Amino acid sequence: MAVALILSGGRGTRLGADIPKQYIKICDRHIISYCIERLSRHDGIDGIWIVAASGWRETVRECLEKYDINGKFRGFSSPGENRQLSLYNGLSDMKGHVGDSDAVLVHDAARPLLSAQMITKCLEVIRNHDGVVPVLAMKDTVYQSTDGKKISALVKRSELFAGQAPEAFRFGAYYEANRWLLPDKILTINGSTEPAVMAGMDVVMIPGDEGNFKITTREDLERFCEIIKQCKKTMGE
């Protein structure tokens, strides 16, 4: 069994919008609705859990009514102090509904261009590993700086990769990996895969998707808007 956990508790402050970015409407659809529909339509996903603040759950329910095509929604979880605590809250609420050997697919609500192919690949690879993360090779030269002003070290670009979502993990081992970071260390975690690596889980990388970008800035939002408009034009809508 595989269950998707959508993280939709972020406030999106870097975008500078009045509302969290995942609830902005593009072409008369909330951004979160795009990944809800993709996950609901995929045959490999058995259930969907969503981390969302109570004040936005009615909006999410409206999206579910329209775009949870196959009725896979299983429940809400509350956001935590940071992203990883939000994720852990979701895992804790899922425990008892998901087996230790089952897969949990962690995805960001602000990555609306998730493809069916990426979901399939993650679910295929997780069968033989503890975790899988899509990555992109670094294109630009990267430098290390301890003060943000001077270059303090050179790093090998060939050894650096940018992580994406969705990330898939064996539920039981991943839950424990996060639980052992409570109460303080979990607040220092920046990426979903970090606890798995810290716990010594077998995590492999697969090629990511340039089109599966996260909406973080105003430029990202405009890019997504143009993509959706072009798709609608192509489809004659």
- pLDDT for residue 83: 95
**What was the pLDDT predicted at 232?**
78
Q: Given pLDDT bands bounded at 50, 70 and 90, which one contains residue 231?
A: confident
Q: How far is CA 92 from CA 5, 97, 178, 195, in A?
A: 12, 10, 10, 15
How do the domains of the chain map onto residue ranges? 2-133+160-234
The 10s digit of each residue's pLDDT in 64-99 is 999 999 999 999 999 999 999 999 999 999 999 999
Question: Does residue 110 contact residue 140 with C-beta atoms inside 8 Å?
Answer: no
Whole-number Å distance between alpha carbons of 18 and 72:
30
Write the class of the CATH domain 2-133+160-234. alpha beta
pLDDT for 71: 97
At 101-154, the pLDDT tens digits run 999 999 999 999 999 999 999 999 999 999 999 999 998 888 999 999 999 999
pLDDT tens across 152-193, in order?
999 999 999 999 999 999 999 999 999 999 999 999 999 999
pLDDT band at 10 (very low <50, low <70, confident <90, very high): confident
Report the relative pairing of strands 73-77 and 131-137 from DSSP bridges: unpaired
* Torsion from C-alpha of 55, 215, 106, 89, nearest 10 degrees: -30
The 3-state secondary structure of the chain reads CEEEEEECCCCCHHHCCCCCHHHCEECCEEHHHHHHHHHHHCCCCCEEEEECCHHHHHHHHHHHHHHCCCCCEEEEECCCCCHHHHHHHHHHHHECCECCCCEEEEEECCCCCCCHHHHHHHHHHHHHCCEEEEEEECCCCCEECCCCCCCCEECCHHHCEEECCCEEEEHHHHHHHHHCCCCCHHHHCCCCCHHHHHCCCCEEEEECCCCCCCCCCHHHHHHHHHHHHHHHHHCCC
44 or 9: which leads in pLDDT: 44
pLDDT at 233: 74
* Mean pLDDT for the stretch of residues 40-48: 98
Residue 8, pLDDT > 90, answer: yes
